[in-house]
Amino acid sequence: GDTVPFYGAHQAGIVTAMQDNLYFASLEITTTDKRELIKLFKDWTVAASNLMKGKPVGDLSSNGFLPPKDTGEAEGLSPANLTITFGVGPSLFVKNGQDRFGLRSKQPKELKDLPKFSFDALDETWCGGDICIQACADDPQVAFHAVRNLVRIARGKLIIHWAQTGFQRTKNAGNVKETPRNLFGFKDGTVNPDSKEDLKQVWVQPGDGPNWLVGGSYMAVRRIQMYIEVWDRTTLKDQEETFGRKRMSGAPLGKEQEFDEPDLEEKDENGKFVIPETAHMRLARGDGTQQLLRRSYSYAGGMDSKTGSIDAGLLFIAFQRTPSKQFIPMQQRLAGLDKLNEYIIHRGSALFACLPGVKKGGYIGETLF
Ligand code: HEM
């Protein structure tokens, strides 16, 4: 079918198979009233469960003297596998030293702004947020409609801080069984945890602390601009050495098939590693003990006025149990040595704690409040 269930132990949109489109919004809460915040999450729960079923957020039989409850652009469309995933940022707890909603004691130690990494060129307009909504669907209008209506419900309580659309090749273009390619033309998402055991690295486990987040997941978001024009002038050999993989097949260098195990010890006749020491996949992997669930989307906008090139890149999204043991050390290794740094630049950054799933009758975020 094309419906993903809303209720469950975990929120949808994390281990759900990736849909074709993304609309991501980072929100700033403007209300100071905790009761209003709780009411908002309750309203969102009803709205999100309806939206994911392909239903409007409110009765369409309208009173001609009022604006319609639902904005209407998804009328008659299928749910298109819509998932809506809510997360909370560090600033929901404490902002400028202020305990905004009496939640300070509940702020997880792991939920703080990501540290600065070398080569970061962050622009505040793409950073942080009190709450995030990730909407993914196999239709861009369905994804947009979801965020638009959730934000509309919240009018007067929050504003959008930043938002980003994302795409990958759609199912209409075929090749659904193949790993999608990023804007550098390489298969992206080959190595991703999928077994039940591996997924323990995605969900916050009992004992990790705090209890309200058990079954949730930390979401690291990085808006990474990719210098596609520079890349396009780079030789194929350089491109492949940058990732440590073959462009066409996605195979690790020295191997034939995409899913072959890379041999990180293999050297060529000159005594150099076949998969270079600066290769992205080698550095990202490290000793192999840290994993992430990557669920990123490409983006492309207009021109970047700073560089005169197309503003295109990757909205990198990764889910994990413990950022200080997963995303952070990984990005520290990449920021130091990764050859990919010649072609990319990190412009935006945020960390959110995606709330645990909701049981029927409950509401999103109820364990927190
Ligand atoms: C692997 C692209 C940023 C973590 C890969 C691969 C590609 C790729 C093509 C190899 C195929 C695969 O396994 O998916 C990119 C691009 C990036 C980017 C274009 C930026 C625009 C990042 C960041 C992180 C990351 C910021 C985490 C901090 C990983 C991991 C792997 C990987 C964990 C798998 C390594 C393994 O083989 O074990 N990436 N990546 N990537 N990347 Fe990235």
DSSP 101-160: SS-GGG--TT-SPPPP-TT----GGGB--SEEEEEEESSHHHHHHHHHHHHHHTBTTEEE
- The per-residue pLDDT for 343 is 97
Ligand 1 neighbourhood includes 273 CB (under 6 angstroms): no
Ligand 1 neighbourhood includes 280 CB (under 6 angstroms): yes
Q: How far is the CA of 341 from the centre of ligand 1 (A)?
A: 12
- The per-residue pLDDT for 1 is 64
- The per-residue pLDDT for 63 is 81
Amino acid identity, position 293:
L
Would you give the DSSP letter of residue 200?
Answer: G
| Reported ipTM exceeds the 0.90 cut | yes
Ligand 1 neighbourhood includes 315 CB (under 6 angstroms): no
Query: Tens-digit pLDDT profile for the chain (369 aa)?
Result: 699 999 999 999 999 999 999 999 999 999 999 999 999 999 999 999 999 999 999 877 778 888 889 999 999 999 999 999 999 999 999 999 999 999 999 999 999 999 999 999 999 999 999 999 999 999 999 999 999 999 999 999 999 999 999 999 998 887 778 999 999 999 999 999 988 888 999 999 999 989 999 999 999 999 999 999 999 999 999 999 999 999 999 999 999 999 999 999 999 999 999 999 999 999 999 999 999 999 999 999 888 887 788 999 999 999 999 999 999 999 999 998 999 999 999 999 999 999 999 999 999 999 999
Ligand 1 neighbourhood includes 292 CB (under 6 angstroms): yes
Domain range annotation of the chain: 21-59+71-354
Tell which atom from ligand 1 comes closest to the C-alpha of 330.
28
